Amino acid sequence: MARASWAPGRVNLIGEHTDYSGGLVLPAAIELGVAVEIDGTAPTVSLVSLEFGPAEPFAPDGGGAQATGWARYPQAVAAELAALGRPAVGLEGTVASDLPSGAGLSSSAALEVAVALGLCAVADFELEPLELALACQRAELRAVGVPCGILDQAGSVLGRRGAAILLDCGTLELRFVPVPEEAALVVLDSGVERRLEGSGYATRRAELEHALRLVGAERSTELELADLEQLDPLSLRRLRHVVTENGRVRRFAAALEAGDLRAAGRLLSESHASLRDDYEVSTPELDELVRVAEDAGAYGARLVGGGFGGSVLALADVETAGRLGGLVVHASDGARLKTYAKT
């Protein structure tokens, strides 16, 4: 029997740029993702991507010269797992993906999680799901210097079919929120590729953390709007986004549980306005996609992912989704190992 690890991308329904301030998020794993077919163990980690070609082999503990290109992510994952005690067992594997990169669906996190599962499998090394997600989060920072929160990796690891994950990124408490069957989640690509390491993502995080220090808070969930009144204009806008976004996450989850897609859609549109005006991570192309989706009958829409390009998520009914075009995705199960008969 052959083995493969698989990890999905994720769509974050609402709760953007809140994870790294200990805020609330509501991601769902999707049916598209990254697979690593495990061809066997080896003295090194030797991976070939069907899309990008072979990576330079690296040590099982992630040591040695730093890899370049897409191989930075697997090498960083190996290093983080080694720090947790994973035995130094290498593997040969083939990486395949049906997840579009740069679209805000977290292709990098899916790659990290799929590689992590494969490395754990060949070494008979087990981690709790959230511990695995945290290791992959640290790998993202190690690989490309992006100080991301836990959102992407947790969404990929914890996904459940038909549900989104309401996650408090400060306490890591979570619960599953059913997504109504009549809800269509439509991803519309702006055509502007997003690369977080070359965007203003790190700047926004630094601005938000500065604002948190000014008000003496560790987590955005500790704050109300009244706590922001004495801030300078920039710090006010950055914190106002995350404080109001936390509230929108709570109300959005309640709207889904009540089956009120119109209320949920309004919250998506409010989220986009906040990301555009207070957090300033939108682009003209994203703004236009939101307008087009709403004019076509979507309940609401907003940019998804870190911004600065990528995609828009529209919430619609099935009939409207057909008019919007784009990619219809569904809340799906999270990362897993597969065994199959090799032909």
Please give the domain boundaries of the chain with CATH numbers for all domains.
2-173+331-340 (3.30.230.10), 180-329 (3.30.70.890)
Q: How many C-alpha atoms does 71 have within 13 Å on its Cβ side?
A: 22
**pTM for the full model?**
0.93
The Cα–Cα gap between 89 and 61 comes to 8
Residue 164 pairs with which residues in a beta bridge?
Answer: 177
The Cα–Cα gap between 116 and 96 comes to 15
**183-234, pLDDT tens digit by residue?**
999 999 988 875 555 568 889 999 999 999 999 999 999 999 999 999 999 9
pLDDT value at position 129? Answer: 96
pLDDT over 90 for what percent of the chain? 86
**52-102, pLDDT tens digit by residue?**
999 999 999 999 899 999 999 999 999 999 999 999 999 999 999 999 877
Retrieve residue 292's tokens: 């087009």
Contact 293, 169 (CB under 8 A): no
From 152, 168, 189, 278, active-site residue: 152
- Helix, strand and coil content of the chain, in percent to the nearest 5, comes to 40, 25, 35
pLDDT value at position 82? Answer: 98
110 has a pLDDT exceeding 60: yes
39 is an active site residue: no
| Mean pLDDT taken over the chain | 94
